[in-house]
Chains A and B, each alone.
Chain A
Amino acid sequence: MADQTTNPIAFVADGTIPPSPPPASQTGIIKWMRENLFSGVTNTILTVLSLMLIYVLLRNTLPWILNGVWNADSLAQCREILDGKTGACFAVLTERWHQLIYGFKYPDDAYWRPNLAFVLMLVAAAPVLFFDLPRKMLLFTALYPFVAFWLIWGGAIMVPVVALLGCVAAGAVFQKFGRNSFATGFFGAIIVALVVWNVGGALIPEDANEGAMLSAVPSRDLGGFMLNLMLGVTCVSLSLPLGIALALGRQSDMPLIKWVCVIFIEFIRGVPLITLLFVASVMLAYFFPPDSTVDLFLRVVIMITMFSAAYIAEVIRGGLAALPRGQYEAADSLGLDYPQAMRLIILPQALKISIPGIVNVAVGLFKDTTLVSVISMFDLVGMIRGPILASTEWNGVYWELLGFAALLFFVVCYGISQYSQWLERRLATDHH
C-alpha cells in the first residue's frame, strides 16, 4: 500500500470533466438572434427597420381590432359605443352574418341544408383528394352532386333522381359499347341520357315542387359565400375533365377534333371572363322567350367552366409536352391502344407535372367567382357592395366587411395551396 501513496503522479483524472455551459453569446436565443438578425451592420439596420415597421403596423391595427364593437345595430351606434376611440365596427359581421354566408333571400329555416351539403362535400371530396382512403367512398362522391343539388335547391326529389338515372343509364351504355368502339359508346351514352332526362322530365308533374319534403329555392335566392363556394367547386370539378379532354384533343391527329379544340381554347382565352359573364346574363336573355330562360346559375357555371377549362387545357398541354418522347414510344411498344396509353402511362405523369399550374388556375378561378357581382348576383362581394353597404345602418363600413371577405377567401385558397404541396410531395417518385 505504501508504494501506492508515493505515486509520483500528483493527479489522475478518474472521469471526464463535466461539460461547462457554452458562453452566453453562443447559445439559445442570443445565438439565434446573432446569427439570424444581427449578423452584420446591414442586417442589423434592416432588422431594426423591420421591427419598427412591425411596431407601427401593430400600433395602428391592434387597438382597432381589440377595441372592435361586436354588438350594435348600426354604424352610428358603433361610433356611440366607441365614443371617439379607434375601433372596428365588427357588429356588421354579427348582424349580417347570415346574409354574408347565405345571401339575403335564402329561407332562414333552411340554413341547415347548405351546411349539411358543405359537410357532405368534405366527405365526398376526401377520397378524391386523399387516395389512401378506401375506394368504396368514391360511390358516395358519385352520388354527391345529386344529393347536394337536392339539399340546396330543394323541390321535387324526382328531379335529381331522374338526372341520376340518366347518368347511370349513360354510364351503363358506355360500359357496354365503349369497349368495342369509343364513338358508339360515347354518342350512345349521350342519346340515352337525353332520352331518360326527357322522358323523366315529362313524367314529373308541373306542381311537384309544392308540398315537397324540402321547399324549393330558386337560383336567384342563392347568395353570399355559399354562392362563391358552389360556383368554385362546381366549376373546378367540371373544368378539370373538360380541360384534360381539350388538351388531348388539341394534340389529336384528327384535324376536325384538333381544330375544334384549338379554336375553342384560343377563343375563350382571348376573351375576358367578365365579357363571357355579361353574355351569360344579358345576351342570352334575348335569345330565349321571357318565360323560359335557362337558369342564371347554370348559365354562369357554363361560362366559368368553359373559361377555366381552356386555361387548364393549356396547363395540361404543357405537362404533356414536358414528357420525353420515349414515354409515348414505350407505351406504343407495349402494344397499348390510345386510351390505355393515356390512362396508364401518359396522363399520370403529365398531370403530376401540371399540379402547380392546375392549382394556380383553380385558386384564380375561385377568386374570379366574385366577378358575378357585376351581373347582379349577390355573392359575398356582391352582398357587401350592394345590400349591406347600401343599407342606411351600415353605409360607410368598408374595412371590416372587405377584410372579412379577404379572410374567408384566404383561408380557402391557402388550404388549396397547402393541399397541392402535400400532393406534390406524396407523388414525388424521383429519388434524390
Chain B
Amino acid sequence: MKKSVILGAATIAGLAAGAAVAGTVDDVKARGKLNCGVTTGLVGFAAPDANGEWKGFDVSLCRAVAAAVLGDASAVEFVPTTGKTRFTALASGEIDMLARNTTWTFSRDVDLKFEFTGVNYYDGQGFMVPKALGVSSAKELDGATVCIQTGTTTELNLADFFRSNNISYEPVPIETNAEAQQQYLAGACDVYTTDASGLAATRATFENPGDHVLLPEIISKEPLGPLVRHGDHEWGDVVRWTLNALVSAEELGVTSANIDEMAAGTDNPEVNRLLGTEGTLGEMLGLDADWAAKAIKAGGNYGEIFAQNIGEETPIGLARGLNAQWTEGGLLYSPPFR
C-alpha cells in the first residue's frame, strides 16, 4: 500500500499525459479486465449472490461487453457505485462504462459530457395500491395520500400528473425504498409511487403480493441505459453495438442454446454478419470477427437475460411490456447489422 502511494505520487506527471491519449478499447485490452460501474445493489438489476458473484440484468450487459472485447465474460471488475458517486467514477476514468439503471436525460447526455449508448430497459413511474382500496386507475386517486421519495424526478412527475388531471393528493415524503415499503405496509399512505420495475420488485417481497396491484398508468419516461464518457467514439461504438447485438440476436432467434449451430453458418445473411461468418463487422469495431457471438454466449440474447433476471418466471415478475421487440409491440429496435 505504501509502495503504491509513493509510486502514485511520483508518476502523476508521467502518466497523466499517456492516459489521455490511449483509447478505452486499447486500455481495456491491455488491462485484460473491464471496469464496469454497477449499483451497490438493486433487486434483479445488480447484486452479488451468496457466493459473491455479481448477478443481474445490468451485470449481464457488463459481462457481454467483456466477452465481446476480451473473449471472457468473467474478466469484469465490478465497481459498485451509489447514485452520488456514479458520474464522478465514470468521468474520472475509474470505470470504463456505467451500467447502473441510469435514466437517459438531456442534461446528463449533454451537460455532464456522457454518451448514452442505447436503452436496455424502458422504465416509467407507476403506482401501487392495496387491492382492498378498489381502485383500478390512477385517475380515481383523488384525495389519496401518496408515499414518494423526496428530491427525485418522481416527485416532480407526480405533481405534474395530478395537476394536469385536476385531482388532489397528499404527499408523504420518505427517504429510501426500504422506508417506503414499511410506511406503505403500515398504512401510512394509500399509494406508493416509484419506477414500475422498483414497484414490482418491492411487491415481490411482500408477504401477500396478491393483495396489492400496480395501476396501468405509467406517468413518465425513464429510459435506462449504459453510458460511457464523451469523446471516445470507438469505445462508445463497442458498447452500443454489443447491446444492439443482444437485441438483434433475440429478433433473429439466436439464443445461447443454438448459437454454436448458427455460428457454423446459416441461410440468413443478417445472422451470418452478426455472428461473423460473413462480412468484416468485427474488424470495423477493432474486435475479433466472432465478437457478437461471444457476447451472446456470455448470458444469452436480450430476451434470455431479461427472463433470467427480472422476467415473469423470477420473483420480480416483470412483463416485457415496452421492452418487447418492436415486432411484438415493444420499443426494442436494433439498427441493422450490415
A-side interface residues toward B, CB under 8 Å? 75-76, 79, 95-96, 99, 104-105, 149, 153, 159, 162-163, 197-198, 201, 204, 219, 278, 281-283, 285-286, 288-295, 297-298, 374-376, 378, 382, 385-393, 395-396, 398
Across the interface, name the chain B residue whose C-beta is closest to A283: B88
Residues of B within 8 A of A (CB): 1-8, 11-12, 15-16, 18-19, 39-44, 46-50, 52, 79-82, 84-85, 88-89, 92-94, 178, 181-182, 201, 204-207, 314-316
B49, B85, B205: the one within 8 Å of A375 (CB): B85
B8: chain A residues at CB < 8 Å are: 288, 292-294
* Partner among A104, A163, A278, A288 whose Cβ is within 8 Å of the Cβ of B52: A104
**Quick one: which of B4, B42, B92 contacts A290, CB cutoff 8 A?**
B92
> Cβ of B88: which chain A residues have Cβ within 8 Å of it?
282-283, 285-286
Which residue on chain B has the smallest CB distance to residue A402?
Answer: B178
**Closest 10 pairs (CB-CB, A-B):** A390-B41, A396-B205, A386-B41, A290-B93, A386-B40, A390-B47, A289-B15, A285-B92, A104-B52, A292-B8
Contact sample, A vs B, 5 pairs, CB 8 Å cutoff? A105-B52, A285-B89, A285-B92, A292-B4, A386-B80
Interchain CB contact under 8 A, A153 and B41? no
In contact, A395 and B40 (Cβ under 8 angstroms): no
Cα–Cα distance between A288 and B14 once the two chains are bound (Å)? 11
Whether A395 pairs with B43 at a CB distance below 8 angstroms is: yes
Given A290-B92, A291-B19, A292-B15, are A282 and B85 neighbors across the interface (CB < 8 Å)? Answer: yes
- B contact patch SS: mixed
Q: Nearest CB to that of B40 among chain A residues? A: A386
Q: List 17 additional contacts besides A99-B52, A289-B18, A295-B5; criterion CB under 8 Å.
A: A95-B50, A149-B1, A159-B1, A285-B94, A286-B92, A288-B12, A289-B11, A290-B92, A291-B15, A375-B85, A376-B40, A376-B81, A386-B47, A390-B39, A390-B47, A395-B201, A398-B178
- B41 and A298: CB pair below 8 A? no
Q: How many A-B residue pairs have CB under 8 A?
A: 133
Among candidates B2, B50, B94, residue contacting A99 with C-beta atoms closer than 8 Å: B50
Instruction: Find chain B residues with CB under 8 A from A392 CB.
Output: 43-44, 47, 204, 314-316
Quick check: A294 and B5 within 8 Å, CB to CB?
Answer: yes
B52 to chain A: closest residue by CB: A104
* Chain B min CB distance to A155 (Å): 10
Q: Which residues of A contact B15 (CB under 8 A)?
A: 289, 291-292
Q: Is the CB of B1 within 8 A of A153?
A: yes
In the complex, how many angstroms separate the beta carbon of B143 from the nearest chain A beta carbon?
A: 29
User: How far is it, in angstroms, between the C-alpha of A285 and the C-alpha of B8 when the chains are bound?
Assistant: 12
Q: Is the CB of A292 within 8 A of B7?
A: yes
Is B1's CB under 8 angstroms from A374's CB? Answer: no
Partner of B85, one of A290, A291, A376: A376
A396 to B16, CA, bound (A): 45
Q: Which residues of A contact B12 (CB under 8 A)?
A: 288-289, 292
Chain B, Cβ-Cβ closest to A394: B205
Find A389's partner among B49, B93, B178 (CB 8 Å cutoff): B178
Q: Is the CB of B181 within 8 A of A396?
A: yes
**Which B residues are CB-close (under 8 A) to A76?**
315
Q: B181 — which chain A residues lie within 8 A by C-beta?
A: 396
In the complex, residue of chain A having the shortest beta-carbon distance to the beta carbon of B35: A290
Candidate in A95, A99, A283 with the most chain B CB atoms within 10 angstroms: A99
A204 to B1, CA, bound (A): 13
Known: A290-B92, A386-B47, A395-B201. A201 touches B1 (CB 8 A): no
Contact B41–A387 (Cβ < 8 Å): yes
| A197: contacting residue among B2, B49, B79, CB under 8 A | B2
Given A99-B50, A389-B41, verify A197-B6 contact (CB < 8 Å): yes
- A294 lies within 8 A of B316 (CB): no
Q: Given the interface contacts A281-B85, A398-B178, does A387 sit within 8 Å of B6 by beta carbon?
A: no
Complex CA–CA separation, A318 to B149 (angstroms): 44
In chain A, what residue has the closest Cβ to B92?
A285
The complex places the Cα of A282 from the Cα of B206 at a distance, in Å, of 36
In the bound assembly, the distance between CA atoms of A289 and B82 in angstroms comes to 22
CA distance A293 to B89 in the complex (A): 12
